Amino acid sequence: MSTHKSSAKAAAAAEKALHEEEPEVAEWQLRLYVAGHTAKSIAAFENLKRVCETHLAGRYTIEVVDLLVNPRLAAGDQILAVPTLVRKFPEPIRKIIGDLSNEERVLVGLDVLPKR
Amino acid sequence: MPRPKKSTKSSAPEARGLPKAATGIQGLDEITGGGLPRGRPTLLCGSAGSGKTMLAAEFLVHGALQFGEPGVFMMFEESATELAQNLSSLGVDLDALQKHKKIAIDHVHIERNEIQETGEYDLEGLFIRLGHAIDSIGARRVVLDTLEALFAGLPNHAVLRAELRRLFRWLKDRGVTAVITAERGAESLTRYGLEEYVADCVILLDHRTVDQVSTRLLRVVKYRGTAHGTNEYPFLIGDDGISVLPITSMRLDHEASTERVSTGIDGLDDMLGGLGLYRGSSTLVSGAPGTGKSSVGASFVDAACRRGERALLFAYEESASQLRRNMRSIGFDLDQWERAGLLRIDASRPTLHGLEQHLVHMHDLVLRFKPSVVVVDPISNLTMERDDRALKPALMRLLDYLKQLGITALFTSLTTDVGIDIADSQVGVSSLMDTWVLLSNLAGNGERTRTLQVLKSRGMPHSHQVREFVMGDHGVDLIDVYLSGDRVLTGTARISQVAQEEAASDLRRRDHERRLKELANHRKAIDAQIAVLNAQAQERAGEVEFAIERERLTAEGHSARSRANAQSRDVPPPRPRPRQPATPTTPRKGAK
Helix, strand, coil in percent for chain A, rounding step 5: 40, 20, 40
Which residue range forms the structural domain that includes residue B45?
20-113+123-244
Helices B320-329 and B293-306 meet at what angle, rounded to 10? 90
Amino acid at B339: R
Q: In Å, how far is A103's CA from the nearest CA of chain B?
A: 8
Query: How large is the average pLDDT for residues B98-126?
Result: 86
Which chain B residues contact residue A78 at CB under 8 A?
108-110
- DSSP for B55-121? HHHHHHHHHHHHS---EEEEESSS-HHHHHHHHHTTT--HHHHHHTTSEEEEE----GGGEEE-S--
Q: Are residues B337 and B441 part of one domain?
A: yes
| Counted domains in chain B | 3
Measured between CB atoms, which of A80, A96, A100 is closest to B108?
A80
Query: How large is the average pLDDT for residues B158-162?
Result: 88
Determine how many CB atoms are found less than 10 A away from the CB of residue B455. 17
The contacts found for B501-505 with CB under 8 angstroms, 24 or more apart, are none
Side-chain-facing half-sphere of B71: CA atoms under 13 Å: 28
Residue B113 sits at the chain A interface (C-beta within 8 Å): no
Torsion angle in degrees (nearest 10) through CA of B117, B189, B45, B147: -10
Judge whether A33 and B125 are in contact, CB under 8 Å: yes
Asked if residue B401 belongs to a domain, the reply is yes
3-class secondary structure, B283: strand
pLDDT reported for residue B343: 92
**DSSP run (H or E) holding B452:** strand B447-457
B140: CATH: 3.40.50.300
Side-chain-facing half-sphere of B492: CA atoms under 13 Å: 6
Which chain A residues contact residue B119 at CB under 8 A?
43-44, 47, 98-102
Look at strands A84-89 and B20-21 and give their pairing: unpaired
Measured between CB atoms, which of B125, B132, B153 is closest to A84?
B125
Which chain B residues contact residue A93 at CB under 8 A?
114
Please count the residue pairs, one from chain A and one from chain B, whose beta carbons lie less than 8 angstroms apart: 97
- pLDDT band (50, 70, 90) for residue B428: low
Asked if residue B208 belongs to a domain, the reply is yes
Q: Are residues B432 and B363 part of one domain?
A: yes
Look at strands B482-484 and B487-489 and give their pairing: antiparallel
Q: Are residues B182 and B39 part of one domain?
A: yes
**Cross-chain residue pair B121–A75, CB shorter than 8 Å:** no
3-class secondary structure, B1: coil
Asked if residue B37 belongs to a domain, the reply is yes
User: What phi, psi does B344 have (nearest 5°)?
Assistant: -130, 125
DSSP state of B418: S
The CA-atom distances, in angstroms, between B440 and each of B382, B399, B448, B481 are 21, 25, 10, 15
Q: Is the pLDDT of residue B3 over 80?
A: no
Asked if residue B187 belongs to a domain, the reply is yes
Cα–Cα dist B414/B285, whole Å = 9
Cα–Cα dist B304/B299, whole Å = 9
pLDDT reported for residue B141: 94
Looking at B480, B508, B543, the residue that finishes a domain is B480
Cα of first residue to Cα of last residue in chain B, in angstroms, is: 153
Looking at B244, B279, B306, the residue that finishes a domain is B244
Query: How large is the average pLDDT for residues B444-461?
Result: 83
Judge whether A19 and A62 are in contact, CB under 8 Å: yes
pLDDT reported for residue B571: 61
Q: With left for phi above 0 and alpha for psi between -120 and 50, is residue B456 left, alpha or beta?
A: beta
Query: How large is the average pLDDT for residues B178-188?
Result: 87
Q: Which of A103-107, B481-485, B569-573 has the lowest mean pLDDT?
A: B569-573
Count how many residues are written for chain A.
Answer: 116
Determine how many CB atoms are found less than 10 A away from the CB of residue B108. 23
Q: Are residues B369 and B404 part of one domain?
A: yes
Cα angle for residues B261, B266, B271 (degrees, 5° grid): 80
Query: How large is the average pLDDT for residues B302-324?
Result: 90
Q: Are residues B414 and B475 part of one domain?
A: yes
- What is the sign, positive or negative, of the torsion defined by CA atoms of A41, A44, A46, A48? negative
Asked if residue B530 belongs to a domain, the reply is no
Amino acid at B402: L
Q: Is the pLDDT of residue B351 over 70?
A: no
Q: Are residues B472 and B494 part of one domain?
A: no
Measured between CB atoms, which of B110, B118, B132 is closest to A100?
B118
Q: In Å, how far is B118's CA from the nearest CA of chain A?
A: 5
pTM of the model: 0.64
**For testing contact with chain A, the best of B114, B118, B161 (most A CBs within 10 A):** B118
Per-residue pLDDT tens digits for A60-97: 889 999 999 988 888 888 888 889 999 888 878 888 88
pLDDT reported for residue B67: 92
Per residue in B501-513, is it b (16+ CB within 10 Å) or e — as a string?
eeeeeeeeeeeee
Per-residue pLDDT tens digits for B373-390: 999 888 877 765 555 566
Asked if residue B255 belongs to a domain, the reply is no
Helices B388-404 and B422-430 meet at what angle, rounded to 10? 40
Measured between CB atoms, which of B110, B114, B128 is closest to A71?
B128
Q: Are residues B275 and B167 part of one domain?
A: no
Judge whether B440 and B451 are in contact, CB under 8 Å: yes
**DSSP run (H or E) holding A76:** helix A73-76
User: What phi, psi does B201 have (nearest 5°)?
Assistant: -150, 130
- pLDDT band (50, 70, 90) for residue A24: low
Count how many residues are written for chain B.
Answer: 592
Cα of first residue to Cα of last residue in chain A, in angstroms, is: 25
Judge whether B589 and B558 are in contact, CB under 8 Å: no
Q: Are residues B354 and B224 part of one domain?
A: no
B183 burial (CB, 10 Å; 0-12 / 13-18 / 19+) is buried
Amino acid at B425: S
pLDDT reported for residue A115: 45
Determine how many CB atoms are found less than 10 A away from the CB of residue A104. 10
Cα–Cα dist B263/B283, whole Å = 10
Amino acid at B32: T
Cα–Cα dist B489/B494, whole Å = 5
Between B15 and B61, the more confident residue is: B61
- pLDDT band (50, 70, 90) for residue A8: very low
Cα–Cα dist B290/B317, whole Å = 13
Q: Are residues B401 and B340 part of one domain?
A: yes
**Cross-chain residue pair A78–B124, CB shorter than 8 Å:** no
pLDDT reported for residue B352: 64
Q: Are residues B299 and B210 part of one domain?
A: no
- pLDDT band (50, 70, 90) for residue B15: very low
User: What phi, psi does B286 have (nearest 5°)?
Assistant: -115, 155
Judge whether B117 and A96 are in contact, CB under 8 Å: yes
pLDDT reported for residue B527: 95
Q: Are residues B496 and B451 part of one domain?
A: no
Torsion angle in degrees (nearest 10) through CA of B387, B390, B396, B402: -90
Amino acid at B494: R
Q: Are residues B471 and B497 part of one domain?
A: no
Query: How large is the average pLDDT for residues B153-168?
Result: 88
Cα–Cα dist A109/B433, whole Å = 70
Cα–Cα dist A61/A40, whole Å = 20
Q: Which of A9-13, B203-207, B332-336 has the lowest mean pLDDT?
A: A9-13
Look at strands B71-75 and B103-107 and give their pairing: parallel
Per-residue pLDDT tens digits for B503-512: 999 999 999 9
Cα–Cα dist B179/B205, whole Å = 13
Cα–Cα dist B341/B332, whole Å = 16
Judge whether B229 and B250 are in contact, CB under 8 Å: yes
Per-residue pLDDT tens digits for B231-286: 778 787 777 778 776 655 545 667 778 888 888 888 888 888 888 889 888 898 88
Q: CB within 8 A of B263, min separation 6: which ones?
A: B269, B272, B276, B277, B283, B296, B299, B300, B303
- pLDDT band (50, 70, 90) for residue B63: very high
User: What phi, psi does B276 have (nearest 5°)?
Assistant: 95, -160
Q: A92: nearest CA in chain B?
A: B114
- pLDDT band (50, 70, 90) for residue B10: very low
Mean model confidence pLDDT for chain B: 82
**DSSP run (H or E) holding B313:** strand B311-315
pLDDT reported for residue B578: 58
In chain B, % of residues over pLDDT 90? 25
Between B140 and B395, the more confident residue is: B140
Cα–Cα dist B398/B359, whole Å = 7
- pLDDT band (50, 70, 90) for residue A21: very low
Asked if residue B532 belongs to a domain, the reply is no
3-class secondary structure, B435: strand
Residue A48 sits at the chain B interface (C-beta within 8 Å): no
**Cross-chain residue pair B119–A44, CB shorter than 8 Å:** yes
Per-residue pLDDT tens digits for B502-536: 899 999 999 999 999 999 999 999 999 999 999 99
Determine how many CB atoms are found less than 10 A away from the CB of residue B524. 10
Asked if residue B254 belongs to a domain, the reply is no
Cα–Cα dist B11/B174, whole Å = 9
Residue A33 sits at the chain B interface (C-beta within 8 Å): yes
- Which domains occur in chain A, in start order? 3-115 (3.40.30.10)
Q: Quote ipTM for the complex.
A: 0.77
